[in-house]
């Protein structure tokens, strides 16, 4: 598909489904190192995520190039939701829904990364026009893809007020939280972090870390990551299979491709027990941030070796080693991350569901979920 023009009085949106089809003006609008440069977008295409397609929106204002937007289209399948704990009737209903509706989720952003900007505007002097152009692109992509819902991931802060006021059909996901830790200047080593903890938390840390000391930890170069591709993917899938909701899967080639392309800032470690891989951990080292990325571990060895908590502690250790100011640990396992000292960074992610009945149910479910949340916020590990 070369493009599908969508027009209103001010904006024209051309949609493309491949970087090979993007016009020359696309790259010309962007800073050289921007994620939306076609060379960088093609890396994601080459990763070949299962059940995911792409849409690229070229937006003009009164005929002049104005903005660019990036979308992913997730074809939702029964295995994206773990239903074994649900009543039998709900399992059957979910399976039938997928068979009949073939649901699709349009994502304004990147399902598998949060550290990149997926919308770019050449002139932001009028924030309202920026909002209008983005909203117009989303509507065009929604029509083109025939998606059942739209997820606007990590909304730019300057647009939040406009979406809340002028797009009331969107539901703000109130519990979308990234757990982060500000690293104190006084923490020069991991031992300094340990000394800052209250007694019971420090005692638990020492107990957990004893298991880590029995393992061999190695940082992998690009060639080694490629050689471990199957092992890394298997460890990743073991984690995925224990999650109830899976917003798509990465592919086995994703981590190796990233390591090859971003050798200096993207890091991958492997943990071995008696030369047998039992866990991997990846992270981005950018500016003042150490950003935890994908992990995986052997669930049969997790409890005995406390692999998950050891990975969290290892991330603190590495962040201090790289002299970072902030550690970003992501959206999952909030209580575990609060136990080690992380605080919530509330993100602005919006969801629009076309079916009004399903939309109403989602509103109610979120309210119930919000009312039952918050236990992890009572964790205060520091002295």
pLDDT tens across 131-146, in order? 999 999 999 999 999 9
pLDDT for residue 348:
86
Predicted confidence at residue 76, as pLDDT, reads: 83
- What is the per-residue pLDDT for 6? 57
In a domain, 1, yes or no: no
Beta strands 289-297; 326-330: pairing state: parallel
Place 49 in a pLDDT band, splitting at 50, 70 and 90.
Answer: very high
Percent residues over pLDDT 90 in the chain: 66
- Does one domain contain both 218 and 314? yes
User: Of all residues in the chain, what percent carry a pLDDT higher than 70?
Assistant: 85
Q: What is the CATH number of the domain that holds 108?
A: 3.40.630
One domain, residues 130 and 118? yes
| Domain with 44 in it | 6-176+347-378
pLDDT over 80 (residue 371)? no
Shared domain for 335 and 310, answered yes or no, is yes
Q: Based on the domain organization, do 154 and 261 belong to the same domain? A: no
At 359, the pLDDT band (50, 70, 90 cuts) reads low
pTM of the model: 0.87
pLDDT of residue 106: 95
- 136 and 284, same domain (yes or no): no
Residue 252 lies in a domain: yes
For the chain, what is the domain count? 2
Q: What is the mean pLDDT of the chain?
A: 88
How far is CA 355 from its chain centroid?
Answer: 25
Asked if residue 243 belongs to a domain, the reply is yes
CATH number of the domain within which 237 lies: 3.40.630.30
Query: Do 140 and 220 fall into the same domain?
Result: no
**Residue 113 predicted with pLDDT over 60:** yes
Look at residue 121 and tell me if it is in a domain.
yes
Residue 266 forms part of a structural domain:
yes
Same domain membership, residue 361 and residue 289: no
CB-based contacts of 270: which residues, under 8 Å, 6+ apart?
217, 218, 220, 228, 231, 232, 277, 279, 280
Confidence grade of residue 173 (pLDDT, cut at 50, 70, 90) = confident
CA distance 234 to 296: 8
Residues 6+ apart with CB under 8 A from 73: 52, 53, 54, 55, 104, 105, 106, 107, 145, 147
Same domain flag for 183 and 206 = yes
Whether the per-residue pLDDT at 363 is higher than 90: the answer is no
> What is the three-class DSSP state of 287?
coil
Residues 257 and 300 in one domain: yes
When mean pLDDT is compared across 225-239, 311-325, 367-381, the lowest value belongs to 367-381
Does residue 383 lie in a domain region?
no
């Amino acid at each position: 598909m070369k493009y599908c023009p969508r027009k209103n009085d001010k904006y024209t949106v051309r949609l493309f489904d491949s970087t090979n089809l993007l016009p020359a003006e696309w790259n010309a609008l962007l800073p050289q190192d921007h994620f939306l440069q076609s060379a960088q977008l093609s890396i994601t295409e080459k990763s070949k995520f299962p059940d995911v397609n792409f849409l690229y929106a070229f937006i003009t204002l009164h005929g002049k190039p104005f903005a660019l937007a990036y979308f992913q289209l997730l074809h939702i399948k029964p295995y994206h939701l773990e239903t074994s704990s649900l009543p039998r009737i709900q399992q059957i209903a979910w399976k039938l829904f997928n068979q009949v509706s073939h649901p699709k989720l349009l994502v304004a952003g990147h399902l598998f990364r949060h550290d990149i900007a997926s919308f770019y505007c050449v002139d932001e002097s009028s924030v309202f026009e920026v909002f209008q152009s983005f909203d117009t692109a989303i509507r065009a992509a929604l029509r083109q893809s025939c998606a059942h819902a739209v997820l606007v991931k990590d909304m730019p802060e300057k647009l939040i007020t406009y979406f809340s006021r002028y797009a009331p059909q969107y539901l703000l996901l109130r519990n979308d939280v990234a757990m982060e830790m500000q690293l104190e200047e006084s923490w020069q080593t991991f031992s300094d972090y340990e000394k800052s903890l209250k007694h019971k938390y420090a005692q638990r840390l020492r107990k957990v870390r004893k298991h880590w000391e029995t393992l061999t930890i190695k940082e992998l170069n690009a060639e080694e990551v490629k050689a471990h591709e199957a092992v890394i993917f298997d460890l990743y899938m073991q984690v995925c299979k224990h999650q109830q909701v899976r917003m798509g899967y990465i592919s086995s080639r994703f981590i190796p491709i990233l390591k090859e392309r971003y050798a200096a800032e993207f890091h991958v470690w492997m943990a071995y027990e008696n030369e047998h891989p039992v866990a991997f951990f990846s992270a981005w080292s950018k500016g003042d941030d150490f950003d935890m990325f994908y992990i995986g571990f052997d669930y049969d060895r997790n409890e005995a070796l406390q692999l998950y908590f050891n990975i969290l502690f290892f991330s603190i250790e590495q962040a201090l080693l790289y002299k970072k100011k902030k550690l970003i640990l992501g959206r999952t396992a909030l209580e575990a991350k609060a136990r080690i000292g992380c605080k919530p960074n509330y993100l602005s992610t919006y969801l629009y569901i076309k079916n009004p009945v399903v939309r109403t149910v989602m509103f109610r479910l979120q309210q119930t979920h919000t009312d039952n949340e918050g236990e992890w916020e009572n964790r205060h590990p520091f002295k």
